[in-house]
Amino acid sequence: MSPSSLSLPPFSGDASPLVPPDPMVERLWACHSEEELLETFGRSPSELTERHALHALSVLCVLPLGSLQEHPQFGTIRAIVLRRLYEMGDDDLVGILSAALRLKVDHHDSLVQELTIEGCRRIDRLPLCQLSKLAMSLMDQHLHRSRAAGRIAERLRLELHNLNISIRVLSKFMLATTQVASAELRLQMVDAAIEQLDKLQLQEPSMQSRTTQEVDLALHTLLQLCNEELLPVMNIAKVCTVLRHLRGLSYNSTSFNMAARERFQKLLPPHSWHPQSALRVFTVYGPLAGPDIRRSLEKAILKHIDQFSKSQSTFFMEGIAEMRCKNPLVIQKRRSMMRHYLPTYRTTELVRVTQAALELRCVDTALMPLLASRILALLQSAYGMNEAGRLVRLLAILPMPAHAFLGSQAAADIVSSRMEALIPQASLADLANLGTMLAKWHAANRRVRTLGADSRLSRLLPQLRNMALSRLEQMESLDAFLEEHHLVKGTWFTEAVLEEAMHALHRLAPQVHPGNLLRCCELLISTYYLQPEVLDSIAAVAMRNIKQIHYKTCYTVILLFALMNYEPPNGEEFFNVCIEHITPHLDQRSTFHLLLLGYVLSLLNIYPESLTRTIFSLPFLTRLDRHMELVPENLQLTLQERLMELNRNVCLEAPEFRVPWFHERHCQQSLTKERSSTYPVKRQIYSILCEVLGGISFAKLSAITPYYHVVDFECILDKQGRPVPYVERGFMLGPEATLGPWASGDAGVTGRRELPPGAQRMSVKFLDGRAFCKGERRLKGPVVAKMRHLEILGYRVVQIPHFELNSMELSSRAAWVRYIKEKLFAPYEI
């Protein structure tokens, strides 16, 4: 593209027109290469102004560009801008800053820093159009949670009702201020955007959908309206843009995905792909397409791979990872492409391509040492905690071929020195994420690391823990605490500082309000830490402010109490209020959300009639099958399992709905995997159980019940409490007798065979640590639901908690025998 064909710089799409161009401006816009432009700019520096610098940077934005900062004339541009910094107009200042960031000028360069500081001084006087650009520039520099971003949000809060700004400018504000804006301001911005929806032009969906990458809940209505009104007239480029942004926030709108796939099929008949759109269609449409279309896409993309730039190759690698592409030619091209561009990758690009390669499980073994070397080189020059943390995370997840290189003293010195320098500026989330990655790397490289390297890295983890504890003690705001925890990834946090974090949450519980209810529930769900006082506060706030709470938040609140198996004061009223709040919005929920809502309520033994009948209607199940085609395989398996569990729960606990059991084949296919999870402590219990009962013919290991619950150990006792052998009753003990004494070809309750009069089946359940909530020894909701089902099926459930079995009182085998006898025969007084 020739810059001379442009009448305005590309960044000024919604700014006021520039002043009439002078001869120097005309010469700048006539340049066709980076070298030509910079030479033209440097011929007469004394005559140049900041406006000329603005035009020069604008032209560079549309030219093929190397490293701008390494060019001698970049210093001239910097000097002119900084000399005129305080006299510069608002448009010029914000425009130059935006252009410099687009040209990848380092954030710590004096040009970017001085422009940012001066822009922040002018926050109170900048026109809103320029203020939105400044806000985006702050976000590009990872300053979207800074005090300056907070000042922008405050000005927007004060002036929003009195302004009539375009939806494009409003979208920039929504995107850039969401981390510092209050829940009230977020909703006000969404309301303002919805009011202007009729003014939305076809070039706007990409910006509007991009805002959803940061805004959590409030944009559902706006996005739904945009999709319904604009999708039928969108071209390929716009559909791809919106889909890409939706994926960026993991917003899985199955209805929109189905409509987008139909739109693609209409616009792009097979075997007629346009070369210029091949990459875009491949990466966006590929994950939605069927097998035949995918093969066509792979065939088309192979024609263009060799022409891809570094940026295009990054999108290509992410696309084949999302598609789970197995075409050997495409995978080979990916490997050669990554090897070619590896020395030039910056941190963000390196993270993206490495994660894509690991997801695809096609890592080039010979490339691993080179990849590790490049990561360490970038880590040495990393100047921010965010960048350094991402690089250490990459080191932690690299496969074994890289470990010999990473276990060296030099590698450990690089990691240790950078972390020691950057840890003081780390937030609680940074410390937690860094601790997880260092612990993983420390464990993975233990065999190949030298003693000195091991010692130096080992000292970092206690240092991280001490700093995390200090941060927790200083926390005075629940909102700040929840925001920090929301960014935590990995297991180090729950292993090292969970108790202290939960004490901080308990201390800050009086600050729970409708705006932070969602984050509070997510924290407790992710940790499974039971705090009755905090749960009571959540329930009370939800009941008092139910009309202010988004229905999606209400679902998360119900999920928390269901998983924790906790009923707050006035529990029945609380759950009814939540269900009544969600019910009017059921038609707005996707098939997946409805299914999960039904499952969560079933854990509480609650079966709303309208929801239950909807889920098990033929149209819903047909639609669910179609939507499952659009999601990754692991999510498909999860949803299938939840549907099976809900089907089983309804059959056992709500037979009045007359829902048939239709998961026989699914359960038989997954039976082997579930029964194979027998670990040593279970074998010991089985051995003692056989000894107590009188032999292996009296006990069954991993028995299968009707509806395919797996029972750890099963036995039968007659009415006097004497064991009843299975062999005497004519039942086989081999693996083919999967349904044990109820085998009749039917997993339903009606297929069971009668026991001797007064006899009862016993289910002996070993409860390890995963069955209990943390903080208190309360069984989790799914475990309790299973026990309810076993009792409905006629079992007496005997619980063997791990903390009882592993106590000092039961430190011998004889003590175990006495303990199990008491558990089995206590009701019979034997």
Average pLDDT over residues 282-299: 82
Task: Pick the closest to residue 286 from 307, 268, 308 (CA basis).
Answer: 268
Residue 570 located in a structural domain: no
| Residue 561 token pair | 């109490």
| Residue 419 token pair | 């972390």
Residue 217: the pLDDT is 41
- What distance in Å separates the CA atoms of residue 661 and residue 23, rounded to the nearest whole number? 81
- Residues 6 or more apart in contact with residue 459 via CB below 8 angstroms: none
Per-residue CA distances from 426 to 3, 378, 421, 434 (Å): 43, 19, 10, 9
- Strands 700-704 and 710-717, by their bridges, are antiparallel
Strand partners, 766: 800
727 and 622 fall within a common domain: no
Average pLDDT over residues 378-393: 82
Average pLDDT over residues 374-395: 83
Residue 731: the pLDDT is 42
| Residue 806 token pair | 């592993």
75-102 pLDDT, tens per residue?
777 777 787 788 888 888 888 888 888 7
| Greater pLDDT, 32 or 27 | 27
401-412 pLDDT, tens per residue?
565 566 667 777
Q: State whether residue 63 is helix, strand or coil.
A: coil
Choose one of 635, 662, 689: the last residue of a domain. Answer: 662
- What distance in Å separates the CA atoms of residue 234 and residue 242, rounded to the nearest whole number? 10
Question: Which H, E and C letters describe 731-767, residue by residue?
Answer: CCCCCCCCCHHHCCCCCCHHHCCCCCCCCEEEEEEEE
Show the CA angle centred on residue 588, arms to residues 583 and 590, nearest 5°: 105
Cβ atoms within 10 Å of 802's Cβ, excluding its own: 15
459-470 pLDDT, tens per residue?
788 888 999 999
Max CA separation in the chain (angstroms): 107
765 and 796 fall within a common domain: yes
Residue 359 pLDDT exceeds 90:
no
718 and 811 fall within a common domain: yes
780 and 677 fall within a common domain: yes
- What distance in Å separates the CA atoms of residue 497 and residue 432, rounded to the nearest whole number? 9
Residue 600 located in a structural domain: yes
What is the Cα Rg of the chain in Å? 31
Per-residue CA distances from 552 to 225, 616, 714 (Å): 18, 22, 41
In which domain, by residue range, is 732 found? 669-828
- Mean pLDDT, all residues of the chain: 79
Residue 272: the pLDDT is 53
Residue 706 located in a structural domain: yes
Strand partners, 760: 717
677 and 652 fall within a common domain: no
645 and 698 fall within a common domain: no
Residue with tokens 């809060």: 157
| Greater pLDDT, 607 or 322 | 607
Q: Where are the alpha helices (DSSP H) in 655-769?
A: 664-675, 680-693
End-to-end CA distance of the chain: 91
Residue 111: the pLDDT is 85
794 and 653 fall within a common domain: no
Average pLDDT over residues 618-644: 89
Q: Which of 220-224, 401-405, 608-612, 746-750 has the highest mean pLDDT?
A: 608-612
622 and 752 fall within a common domain: no
Residue 795 located in a structural domain: yes
Residue 222 located in a structural domain: no
Average pLDDT over residues 153-172: 79
Choose one of 629, 662, 695: the last residue of a domain. Answer: 662
Residue 437 located in a structural domain: no
| Element holding 765 (H helix, E strand) | strand 760-767
Residue 10 pLDDT exceeds 50:
no
Name the DSSP letter for residue 342. Answer: G
485-541 pLDDT, tens per residue?
877 877 888 888 999 999 999 999 999 998 889 899 999 999 999 999 999 999 999
630 and 678 fall within a common domain: no
Residue 254: pLDDT band with limits 50, 70, 90 = confident
Sheet containing 700-704: order of strands = 700-704, 710-717, 760-767, 795-801
For the entire predicted model, the pTM comes to: 0.72
Residue 73: the pLDDT is 65
Residue 213: pLDDT band with limits 50, 70, 90 = very low
- Structural domain count, the chain: 2
Cα-to-chain-centroid distance, residue 318? 16
677 and 791 fall within a common domain: yes
677 and 782 fall within a common domain: yes
Residue 439 pLDDT exceeds 70:
yes
CB 525 within 8 A of CB 563: yes
Residue 529 located in a structural domain: no
Residue 146: the pLDDT is 86
Name the DSSP letter for residue 133. Answer: H
Percentage of the chain beyond pLDDT 70 is 76
Task: Fill in the amino acid letter for 600.
Answer: V
674 and 817 fall within a common domain: yes
Residue 13: the pLDDT is 36
Residue 431 pLDDT exceeds 90:
no
Residue 227: pLDDT band with limits 50, 70, 90 = low
Residue 423 located in a structural domain: no
- Strands 760-767 and 710-717, by their bridges, are antiparallel
Per-residue CA distances from 182 to 121, 219, 552 (Å): 23, 15, 18
| Greater pLDDT, 412 or 13 | 412
Choose one of 622, 642, 662: the last residue of a domain. Answer: 662
